[in-house]
Chain A
Amino acid sequence: MISNIPKELKRGVITENPIFVLALGLCPALGVSSSVVNGLGMGLATTFVLIASNLIIAMIKKAIPAQVRIPSFIIVIATFVTIVQMVMKAYLPGLNDQLGIFIPLIVVNCLILGRAEAYASQHSPINSVIDGFAMGIGFTAGLLILSTIREVLGANQFLGLTLIPGVEPISIFTLAPGGFLTIGFVIAGLNYLKIKKERT
């Protein structure tokens, strides 16, 4: 498994991308992807929480009876997110100003609970860490794609810097409807490529 990291990454980023294939974590993805800086920050924070929660849950999975596994997973995830939030508020105030309201949303990001239930509760800690890493990178990559499209079209900016001076951007892309449109078109495009590849 460890030697298969490139294969796992391909799985996490392309074949089982959390946003475009598994369709998990769409709420935070849509909310945060209005600018590339936010998308990147949220993606990395989610990756960290995902790796940590997968690791802990894989380590204690034998001690948790099946009937209470969901509440237990949720407690573990919520604890980590709370710790991340406090550490960010104390030591990374700039990042906290940008992402502060989104961090608590990581708790309800279905991706974290989904991977805990589908993978970490049934595999070894090392494999779970790799899965968490691959899925987290896939989530971040998806966020980068979405937020690049939305920031370029919706704010005429990239990383906060203007692209073409004087051009009025299509503001709807930075708002919710634009988010839905973007994600719909990206999923449609990826599905089209997948079908075309399967046909050949």
Chain B
Amino acid sequence: MKNTVTLTLTLTIIAAISAVSVSYVNQITAEPIRQQQIQREQSALAAVLPAGDSTYTDTLRRPADTLPFWVSYEQGIIQGYALKATTAKGYSSTIDYLIGLDAAGNIHGLSILSQGETPGLGARITEIASDITLWGRIFKGHTVDTGAEPWFCRQFSGLQPEQAISINKTIGEWPDLDSAGKVALQRSNEITAVSGATITTRTVKKSIETDIADALGAIERKIDDK
């Protein structure tokens, strides 16, 4: 009996000390973590939302999902929109993204917020194209551009989500095209896929085509009402 009491007491004391220290550290770090989260959202937003002097934010409630959105104004005139949406299941995960549209409804920017696709294949939608080699870095002093945007997201700029976006599989990946090729793709509302990751590419494209067009109309009605 005494043995049981000793065992229980020891374990309880250890657990209590653990709980106190964890909650203390939690209290100290809660604010910096919140700041990180806000900063991350702000920088993602700044990358996709057209610039303006004021931003209005709200959420769009639809039967299937809830979409946070932002509207950017310059002197009271709408400059553009941004929406946070989630795709249907891709190859192995749903993909959260932030998409920015200009006042005409064309895509201004795309930012993948989270995804769990296959590394080396679908996960390359967040890959930053770089032809800096190890030797170039060591011997020639080439530096990596750490602020660059993933090429998969960049190629969506200027496309119209309200029309069908098609995937061009014959000309290779976007970073390997010359500027004439990129302009041609944009004019025909096309994107290139990540090679070997058709499902992931298609999932993102489909979500933008179906969700965004509807959402934009609903957002415009919502802000007209207010």
Which residues on A are within 8 Å of B, measured CB to CB?
34, 60, 63-65, 67-68, 71-72, 75-76, 78-79, 82-83, 86-87, 89-91, 93, 154-155, 157-165, 171, 174-175
Contact = CB atoms under 8 A, between A and B. Distances in A.
A121 B71 CA distance: 60
13 contacts: A75-B18, A76-B18, A79-B22, A86-B29, A87-B25, A89-B29, A90-B29, A90-B32, A93-B40, A161-B133, A161-B144, A162-B131, A175-B118
Interface in B84-130: 118-121, 130
B75 interface: no
Main secondary structure of the interface of A (DSSP, over half): helix
Interface of B: 3, 6-7, 10-11, 14-15, 18, 21-22, 25-26, 28-29, 32-33, 36, 40, 118-121, 130-137, 144
Given A79-B18, A89-B33, 17 more contacts: A60-B14, A65-B3, A68-B7, A72-B14, A75-B14, A79-B21, A82-B25, A83-B21, A86-B22, A86-B29, A155-B120, A161-B134, A161-B137, A162-B130, A162-B134, A163-B133, A175-B120
A64 B10 CA distance: 7
A63 B10 contact: yes
A66 to B, nearest CB: 10
Contacts, number: 82
A154 B26 CA distance: 39
B29 A87 contact: yes
A68 B11 contact: yes
B11 A83 contact: no
A90 B30 CA distance: 7
Nearest to A160: B144
Given A65-B7, A79-B18, A175 B119 contact: yes
Contact of A171 (B22, B25, B120, B144): B120
Contacts of A165: 131, 133
